[in-house]
Amino acid sequence: MSRFIRYWVPVILYAGLIFTLSSFPLPPPKVEIPFIDKFIHLIEYGILGFLFYRALRVSKLAKRVFILAIIFSILYALSDEIHQYFVPGRNCDLWDLAADSLGIVLIALYLNRKQNPVS
C-alpha cells in the first residue's frame, strides 16, 4: 500500500489537477508570446510522463516502462483534449496534443537514457 501511495497517488493527483484546470475557460492572455501555450503543454505533460515513468518503473510492468509511460501519458493527453472539446471557452487542438506528446517522449527518452546509459 505504501508503494501505491508513494508512486501512483502523485500520478492520480496530477492527472486530476490537469483535468480540473482543463474544466475552466482560459482567460485572455495579458501579453501575447508566440507558442507559449505549446511550451506550457510540453512542460505540463512532460511532468505527467515523468510521474508515469516513475510509477511504472517500480511496478510489475517495469520491463516495458519506456513504452508504457509514453502510451499511458499520450492517452491521457488525448482524453484531455477530447474533454476540452466539451468545455465552453476551450477547444480540442491537435497541436496541443502534439506538444503534449513531444514533452512526454522527450522526458521518457531522457529517463530511459539516464537509467540505461550507452557505454
The span from the CA of 47 to the CA of 44, in Å, is 5
Phi/psi of residue 118, nearest 5 degrees:
-85, 130
- Structural domain including 75 reads 2-23+37-115
Does residue 46 lie within any of the structural domains? yes
Does residue 96 lie within any of the structural domains? yes
* pLDDT tens track, the chain, 119 positions: 898 999 999 999 999 999 999 999 988 777 788 889 999 999 999 999 999 999 999 988 888 999 999 999 999 999 999 999 999 999 999 999 999 999 999 999 999 988 777 65
The number of domains in the chain is 1
Does residue 77 lie within any of the structural domains? yes
Does residue 14 lie within any of the structural domains? yes
The span from the CA of 21 to the CA of 59, in Å, is 29
pTM here? 0.90
DSSP code at position 64: G
Angle at which helix 36-57 crosses helix 2-22, to 10 degrees, equals: 160
C-alpha 13: how far from chain center = 12
Does residue 32 lie within any of the structural domains? no
